[in-house]
Structure 1
Amino acid sequence: MNTGRRLVAEIGLVIYPDCQLAAVYGLTDLFRIAGDMARVAEEPTSPAIRVSHWRQEGAEIVCSYDSDPGPDHALAHAITPPSLIMPDRMQPMTALADWMSRLHRSGTTLCSICAGAFVLAETGLLQGREATTHWAFAETLASRFPAVRVDADRMLIDDGDIITAGGILAWTDLGLTLVERLLGPSVMLDTARFLIIDPPGRTQRPYGQFVPKLDHGDQAILAVQHWLQATGAKDHAVPMLAARAGLEERTFLRRFKKATGLRPTEYGQQIRIAKAREALERTRRPVEQIAWQTGYGDPSTFRKLFHRVTGLSPQEYRRRFGIALQAHANASAEA
């Protein structure tokens, strides 16, 4: 053990096939930096977090790295990082899931990031709980583990004994959350400032994209989807859409919801908001003009709906993601 360090907890990082090693090593560095931030010159020892890496070798789960070798392991937290492959290509990891279940029974808090939620879900411990993952994987997680209450709008869900984090880079949110829990809020803020990253509290909603389901096999509904996409869904009245599909209205509504997971009105709104997001990102057109061009005659209605879908007002969204706005600011600064 290094001298001058008072270990407050051990965090184990799980290395599984095709996991994102950048997150593993990034968290290792983040916890080390947090320990440096916690160092107080007047004290003989400073609080620090012990970090260990764990991987499967044969039928055993073994430690492959230890920042403070010597003492017996006692994991306060175990983290499954993101995956570099899509969840539908991830193989079952029964041995890891059994190991994590045993840790949980002994008091370890289990954590996941992004697609690491699929590894955590194999333990069965997410049943009946809220959990988050990358917004693009939420539907797959809910389908594969239907007892999990998936909420992909949230970047981090802390249940105390289980913590799930959303997007690929949400390891920063999880890491800072654990630093705050183990070393205090001031150390967490110092660490965030040093790394130039936002403290926890973000949401995934502004980053999500509408990805329509097109592989459902219902050709009549698919034809309507293609028409809505081509026309920007400016007209999504149910009688007209049902007529285009050649179906009675009640049948059309039932089949549309079954195929897409959304009602026609909701589907049309998603398309129109996606068009509005693109305009806010790539142009400097006024919000009122964008509202009208995407089919909303009332700008206040557009603003309310936009906020409901993205979690931001149109102005806030443009400030955060506006490419054209940033290019204009750069040009003005150079002039």
Structure 2
Amino acid sequence: MTNAHTTEIGILIYPGCQMAAVLGLTDILREANRMAQEKLPRRSSALLQVSHWEREEDDALPRRIFASGDGAPSPPAVLVLPPALEHKISPEEARSYAAWLNALHDKGTTLASVCGGALILGETGLFKGRTVTTHWAYRDIMRARFPEAILDTDRLMIDDGDIFTAGGVMAWTDLGLTLVDRFLGPTVMMDTSRLFLIDPPGREQRYYSAFAPNFTHGDAQILKLQHWLQNTQASQTDLSSLSRVSGLEERTLLRRFRKATGWTTSEYVQRLRVAKAQDLLQFSNSPADRIAWDVGYQDPSAFRRVFRRIVGLTPSDYRRRFAG
């Protein structure tokens, strides 16, 4: 049996999950445990144990198929739902895990998801009223499946105590280091970060995300306006012009635009312009002030404020980080 003070972190293997994340997270946690044990030479048992859980049959409950130490009969302290690459798990598939996950949660297990793993975790009902994140490309499907969740895909990691959610496909590295920090402390976390040459937690997903407007909402007049804004690079954004193009009365336009896209017209235009500015910062040598003018801002300082609010970096920092 494991030592009473050993913490078990389980990882669920489900159809289509990214095995690189399963194995990589296992490596991070096992190496962190090794380094923690070196700092406590009298400790013979593990501080962290990693386990893998999988169904043997379609209708069976998942069970441990691997443990890095002696398998314990009690539930893991944390269970991680890793990302998937091409496979977007269906609501029916995801619901088949919900009762088991809720039972673990009721016994004190912290549940964690990375990227598409949120599509499973959300079916437990535990997202209701919580702020959660996932990969920015899953925004629309998450809003459709879990409307009671507060979705913030600008954030790469959200620690809500008994629920962790992480954003992009590679955010399992951030989750791994966050778990190391929680259970083994910041010194071991920083040592692990240096060993694997990965940034410690603190990055933001919005540095990497692209503006991906919803064009499948079914409102033909709003869709016409979206295409017009895209084609004209949002050169005209006064409400009277938007109303004229859409053929809608102004108050009706504002209400229907937000319902269809999830944004106000001004927020949508700002994000459309910033997305164009990101392209120009990456792939042109134009100075930032010229780019501000090219995307529709006459005041460069106003452009910088909007850019930093949306992207999380200044235009110059963004160019240094991402320009080829």
* TM-score (ref. length: structure 2): 0.92
Residues 245 and 93 of structure 1: CA distance in aligned 2, closer, same or farther (over 3 Å): closer
SS in structure 1 of the partner of residue 63 of structure 2: strand
Give the Cα separation in 2 of the matches to 1:277 and 1:41.
45
**8 Å Cα contact 2:50-2:67 kept in structure 1:** yes
State the match for 2:218 in structure 1: 217
What letter matches 2:47 in structure 1? A
Contact persistence 2:128–2:148 (CA under 8 A):
yes
Indicate if the aligned counterparts of 2:17 and 2:87 stay in contact, CA closer than 8 A.
no
Q: Check if 1:22 corresponds to 2:20.
A: yes
> What is the alpha-carbon distance in structure 2 between the residues aligned to residue 251 and residue 215 of structure 1?
19
Name the CA distance, whole Å, in 2 between partners of 1:172 and 1:249. 47
- Partner residue in 1 for 2:251: 250
* Segment of structure 1 superposing worse, 54-63 or 282-291: 54-63
Show the 5 A alignment for 1:7-156: 8-40=6-38, 43-45=41-43, 47-58=46-57, 59-85=60-86, 87=88, 89=90, 91-156=92-157
Q: TM-score of the superposition, structure 1-length normalised?
A: 0.89
Gaps of 5+ in 1: 324-335
Structure 2: how far apart are the matches of 1:85 and 1:78? 22
Letter in 2 for 1:40: E
Give the equivalent residue in structure 2 for 1:228.
229
Write the distance in 2 (CA, Å) between the matches of 1:132 and 1:32.
26
Q: How far is the alpha carbon of 1:23 from its aligned partner?
A: 0.6
Deviation at 1:247, TM superposition (A): 3.0
Shift of 1:55: 1.1
Q: Decide which moves more: 252-261 or 172-181.
A: 252-261
How far, CA to CA, are the matches of 1:165 and 1:313 in structure 2? 24
User: What residue is the counterpart of 2:306 in the other structure?
Assistant: 305
Cα 1:260–1:40 change in 2 (3 A) is closer
Residue 187 of structure 1 aligns with which residue?
Answer: 188
**What displacement does 1:297 show?**
0.9
Match of 1:260 in 2: 261
Could you tell me how far apart the structure 2 residues matched to 1:42 and 1:210 are? 48
Q: In the superposition, relative to structure 1, how do residues 95 and 246 fare at CA in structure 2: closer, same or farther (>3 Å)?
A: closer
Q: What aligned pairs does 1:161-176 form with structure 2 within 5 A after superposition?
A: 161-176=162-177
How big is the shift at 1:284?
2.1
d(CA) in 2 for partners of 1:261, 1:124: 22
8 A contact 1:6–1:48 mirrored in 2: no
Per the TM alignment, residue 41 of structure 1 is displaced from its structure 2 partner at its CA by 7.1
CA RMSD of aligned residues (A): 2.1
Residues 8 and 182 of structure 1 are in contact (CA less than 8 Å); yes or no, is this contact kept in structure 2? Answer: no
Find the counterpart in structure 2 of residue 294 from structure 1.
Answer: 295
Unaligned 5+ residue runs, structure 2? none
Q: 1:220 to 1:161 in 2, by over 3 A?
A: closer
Residue 28 of structure 1 and its aligned partner are, at CA, apart by 0.7
Report the CA distance between 1:64 and its aligned residue. 1.4
- Give, in whole Å, the separation in 2 of the partners of 1:263 and 1:71: 52
- Is contact 1:167-1:204 (8 Å) kept? yes
SS in 2 for 1:27: helix
Whether contact under 8 Å (2:21, 2:172) holds in the other structure is yes
With over 3 angstroms needed to count, the CA separation of the structure-2 counterparts of 1:283 and 1:75, relative to structure 1, is same
Equivalenced residues, count: 321
Distance 2:250 2:122 in 1: 39
Deviation at 1:99, TM superposition (A): 1.4
Tell me which amino acid in the other structure corresponds to 1:37.
M
Q: Aligned equivalents of 1:93 and 1:248: distance in 2?
A: 42
Structure-1 residue corresponding to 2:179: 178
> Alpha carbons of 1:148 and 1:218: their partners in 2 closer, same or farther (altered >3 Å)?
closer
Separation of aligned partners in 2, 1:82 and 1:142: 18
Q: Which amino acid aligns with 2:252?
A: T
SS at match of 2:38: coil
Rounded to whole Å, the distance in 2 between the matches of 1:251 and 1:259 is 12
What letter corresponds to residue 137 of structure 2 in structure 1? Answer: A
Q: CA deviation at 1:89?
A: 4.3
Contact 1:32 1:48 in 2 (8 A): no
Contact persistence 1:154–1:205 (CA under 8 A): yes
Amino acid at match of 1:322: A
Residues in 1 aligned to 2:39 and 2:177: alpha-carbon distance in whole angstroms:
23
Which amino acid in structure 2 is aligned with residue 57 of structure 1?
A: E
- What's the % identity of the aligned pairs? 50
Deviates more, 1:107-116 or 1:46-55: 46-55
**Could you say if the C-alpha distance between residues 45 and 96 of structure 1 is closer, same or farther in structure 2, counting changes exceeding 3 Å?**
same
For 2:263 and 2:297, locate their aligned partners in 1 and report how far apart those are by CA, in whole Å. 20
Residue type of the alignment partner of 2:312: G
Go from structure 1 to structure 2 and tell me whether the alpha carbon gap of 1:90 and 1:281 turns closer, same or farther (over 3 Å shift): farther
